[in-house]
Every structure is written in structure tokens, then in C-alpha cells.
Amino acid sequence: MVNENAELKKKTIKTMKGKKVFKDEIATRLSTSESEKIWRDAHERLYRMYDEHQNLSKGVAMHTDGFIFPAAAIYLAMKETDPDMAYDVMKKIMAEKSKKTGQMIAKCCKIPGFKKYFLNMWDSMSHKMFGEASGFKNVFYPKEKESFRMDITQCPYNKYLTEQGCPELNILFCENDVHSYGNLPGLKFSRTKTIGAGDELCDFKMELVKGK
């Protein structure tokens, strides 16, 4: 038990170090003592979440441990001090991080053949990262030459963020996709519904755009 707790503490510290961009943003808005108090609280919350969910499968834990629980812990810790600031910080930082990802992918799209490779990659990647083994339920449509379609009908982000009492963060994770994939040259990402916005499913479509 001692070793297990030590491992969870080590895991928590490592994860929170990787979320330093949130800590830095909080520090620009609050006093040193207030921001440090929030960060300590976030550490404690994340540790408890990890402790309470040690039996999750590897596929589900990939999402909960790296993204869902850290976001919930940081947000809920901030919310104790200022609910409006808490949501604004999460929205700002998550959008900035996703836009950087989008810019990186956009640069790669200029490499000959990358767009087709990226599109084809979605099929195998989605089955692995967003399949039932990772806590999702999906409808995968027949593979097409110049487009990829998938509906998500059950999402662990919605499940665990709701469980932690912050379902409002779900829509921010949905928006991450738009920031990451919504402005890629030669590729069109579209989605008309999201579970995070209260719809019954998330409908994903990525397609090649000829001449771009």
C-alpha cells in the first residue's frame, strides 16, 4: 500500500508538471499565495481521482489520466476561488494548445502526400484511440478514398467529467478538435453535433479538398 501510494503521488506530480501552462496563467491573474493554494488543491484533487480510478483499463486511462482528470482537478480547484475565471482559464489555455497543434499539422500538410496519409491514418487511429477499449462507443462508416466518417455515441470525457461535477468542460474538449483540425490546407473537418453540447452523438467527418 505504501509503495502504491508513493507511485500515485509520483504520477500526480509528473502529470501536474506537464500542466504548468495552466499554473502560469493562474499566476497572472491571482496573487502568489492564491495561485499556489489553487495548485496545491489541484494536486490533491488529482491524486484522489487517480486513487479512486486505479482499475480503469489502459485504453480508458490514456484519456482519463492524461487529460480528463487533470483538467477536472485544475478547474475545480480554481472554481473554489473564482468560477468565471476558472472556466475562462480552461477555455483560453486549451484553445491555445490545440491551435498550436493545428498549426503544426498545417505545416505538415504542405509536404507532398501528407494529406492523404493523414486522412488514411484517421481510420486506424480512431479505432485504437476512440474505440470501445478506450471507453467510447462508435459508428464507423465504410472506408472511402477521400473521406473519413465516424459517429461517437458514448464518450468517456462526458462520463468522467460529469462524474467529477464539471460536465461544462466537455464542450471545451470538443472545441479542441475544431482548433486542431478546422484550418488545415487541403483538408476539411466538419461536425454538426457533439455530446458535449447536449446532442446524442458527435459526428466526425474529415475529407480531402481538391485543388488546395
pLDDT tens string 61-71:
999 999 999 99
pLDDT tens across 2-56, in order? 455 899 999 999 999 999 999 999 999 999 999 999 999 999 999 999 999 999 9
CA 201-136-202 angle, 5° bins: 20
- Kindly report the pTM of this predicted structure: 0.93
Instruction: List the alpha helices (DSSP H) in 57-108.
Output: 58-63, 69-79, 83-108
| pLDDT score, position 144 | 85
pLDDT tens across 103-112, in order? 999 999 999 9
Contact by Cβ (8 Å): 93, 78? no
Residue ranges making up the domain that contains 162: 1-208
CA distances from 152 to 6, 147, 182 (A): 36, 17, 18
Please say if the pLDDT value at position 206 is more than 50: yes
| Structural domains of the chain, count | 1
pLDDT tens across 147-167, in order? 999 999 999 999 999 999 999
Q: Which helix (H) or strand (E) holds 205?
A: strand 202-208
How does residue 1 score in pLDDT terms, banded at 50, 70 and 90?
very low
Amino acid in the structure at residue 164: Q
**Percent of the chain's residues with pLDDT above 90:** 88
